[in-house]
Chain A
């Protein structure tokens, strides 16, 4: 398991691994918002948490199709399926590697990008915390979607269509927690719901992803 995690992280760091792509996309999306809506600080402040959450979510989506597709194409997935580790573990480790190379950097970058959008000072902690709680769910749901579409030619678009609706609850509670935090309201309810969603996702979806891979390998 550790070997798989180390290999996936190493592959992400090597040339063409796609590390930094999501981060660059996030940066560009956030920078484009003031161009589209005008530079008024009040207006940007109002939408800052929502834009940062949406930007992080879309950036996360960008690299999902790589989770299993490359391993499928080069035969690694078949070899992993016959290796002495459960496919559920493979799916969980792949989701973890995706989070470490995408969700975690996005979480750490979000407060910096908040400066562009005049994020209120109280909001930084809650934005970071809500992203830290929510992005693991984005990776786990994404790994499930990637497992469903692995082996399909040009499955990337279908993957987005499957995954985006599943992202809705996480987006609602994550963005709500960050917004309430930024506006100085109590954040406990949305944060707890977000944490619960993430826990359920992490507990259940590796099994669903492994089942989907088994079917797609046939």
Chain B
């Protein structure tokens, strides 16, 4: 099986200062990689490099199928309805909207303007955007912010279904999503990435 994402010897900077050095990782279909580490360690910077939004100072990223990247901002237009927001991103990726609203429990809100949604509902809509991109690899930066327990469980279920269907995800998060049996943890610490302390393996990590 070919990897959805391969990164070798990445040096990641933020504001011109290297924050992570020598990060190598491989993400296979069906797996979840969880990034952990204290604030400011470079989780977001690493995700942005993996998404191709920022170039690494050193190393290379190989991501043949492209990524769907979800950051703190959701890419939603407040004056468009839920349906219009999703239809736009689906159209842009040449994909059908399909059952994305149902899967993120948005079916009842489909004709509401995004501006009138609560923070948690907006977050769910932002995550529904991932579903309509049709991309196999999701890069998620703190995806559970503003979500209540039920929505976190819903979201974890969506990720499970996604990886079971051959997708994969890299998630920067501090909370347990209940995906332990299919996930590895990459612990980022100090100014250099250190070997994961409780990773079950599956990644060929080369650290300095």
Chain A residues in 8 Å Cβ range of B182: none
> How many Å lie between the Cα of A217 and that of B71 in the bound state?
13
- Shortest CB distance A86–B (Å): 12
Q: Find out whether the CB atom of B72 lies under 8 angstroms from the CB atom of A75.
A: yes
Q: Find out whether the CB atom of B53 lies under 8 angstroms from the CB atom of A217.
A: yes
Q: Which residues, 73 to 92 on A, are CB-close (under 8 Å) to B? A: 73-76, 78-85
Q: Does A11 lie at the interface of the complex (its beta carbon under 8 Å from any beta carbon of B)?
A: yes
Q: Find out whether the CB atom of B53 lies under 8 angstroms from the CB atom of A84.
A: no
Stretch at the interface among B2-10, B86-94, B191-199: B86-94
Contact of B54 among A6, A14, A217 (CB under 8 A): A217
Q: Find out whether the CB atom of A79 lies under 8 angstroms from the CB atom of B69.
A: yes
> How many Å lie between the Cα of A217 and that of B48 in the bound state?
9
Chain B residue nearest to A74 (CB atoms) is B73
Chain B residues in 8 Å Cβ range of A74: 73-78
> How many Å lie between the Cα of A83 and that of B134 in the bound state?
11
Q: Does B158 lie at the interface of the complex (its beta carbon under 8 Å from any beta carbon of A)?
A: no
Q: Which residues, 38 to 92 on B, are CB-close (under 8 Å) to A? A: 48, 51-55, 66-69, 71-80, 84, 88-89, 91-92
Q: Find out whether the CB atom of A4 lies under 8 angstroms from the CB atom of B92.
A: yes
- Shortest CB distance A10–B (Å): 7
Chain B residues in 8 Å Cβ range of A78: 51, 53, 69, 71, 73, 75
Chain A residues in 8 Å Cβ range of B94: 84
Chain A residues in 8 Å Cβ range of B133: 83
- Shortest CB distance A134–B (Å): 30
- Shortest CB distance A77–B (Å): 8
> How many Å lie between the Cα of A16 and that of B80 in the bound state?
12
Q: Find out whether the CB atom of A79 lies under 8 angstroms from the CB atom of B129.
A: yes
Q: Does A17 lie at the interface of the complex (its beta carbon under 8 Å from any beta carbon of B)?
A: yes
> How many Å lie between the Cα of A75 and that of B143 in the bound state?
14
Chain A residue nearest to B130 (CB atoms) is A79
Number of interface residues of A (CB under 8 A): 25
Q: Find out whether the CB atom of A3 lies under 8 angstroms from the CB atom of B54.
A: no
Q: Find out whether the CB atom of A81 lies under 8 angstroms from the CB atom of B92.
A: no
> How many Å lie between the Cα of A42 and that of B160 in the bound state?
76
- Shortest CB distance A209–B (Å): 17
How does the 8 Å CB contact mask read for A6-29 relative to B, with 1 for contact and 0 for none? 110011001111000000000000
How does the 8 Å CB contact mask read for B116-151 relative to A, with 1 for contact and 0 for none? 000000000000010001000000000000000000
> How many Å lie between the Cα of A79 and that of B138 in the bound state?
12
> How many Å lie between the Cα of A81 and that of B79 in the bound state?
22
> How many Å lie between the Cα of A73 and that of B71 in the bound state?
12
Q: Find out whether the CB atom of B71 lies under 8 angstroms from the CB atom of A14.
A: no
> How many Å lie between the Cα of A3 and that of B93 in the bound state?
10
How does the 8 Å CB contact mask read for A51-87 relative to B, with 1 for contact and 0 for none? 0000000000000000000000111101111111100
Chain A residues in 8 Å Cβ range of B79: 11, 14-17
Chain A residues in 8 Å Cβ range of B80: 7, 10-11, 14
Q: Does A154 lie at the interface of the complex (its beta carbon under 8 Å from any beta carbon of B)?
A: no
How does the 8 Å CB contact mask read for A145-160 relative to B, with 1 for contact and 0 for none? 0000000000000000
Given contacts A3-B88, A218-B54, could you give 4 more A-B pairs where the C-beta distance is less than 8 Å? A7-B77, A74-B77, A81-B53, A84-B92
30 A–B contacts from the bound complex (CB under 8 Å): A2-B91, A3-B88, A4-B92, A6-B88, A10-B80, A10-B84, A11-B77, A16-B79, A17-B79, A73-B73, A74-B75, A74-B78, A75-B72, A75-B75, A75-B76, A78-B69, A78-B75, A79-B75, A79-B129, A81-B53, A82-B53, A82-B66, A82-B67, A83-B92, A83-B133, A84-B92, A84-B94, A85-B92, A218-B48, A218-B53
Chain A residues with a Cβ under 8 A of chain B: 2-4, 6-7, 10-11, 14-17, 73-76, 78-85, 217-218
Chain B residues with a Cβ under 8 A of chain A: 48, 51-55, 66-69, 71-80, 84, 88-89, 91-94, 129, 133
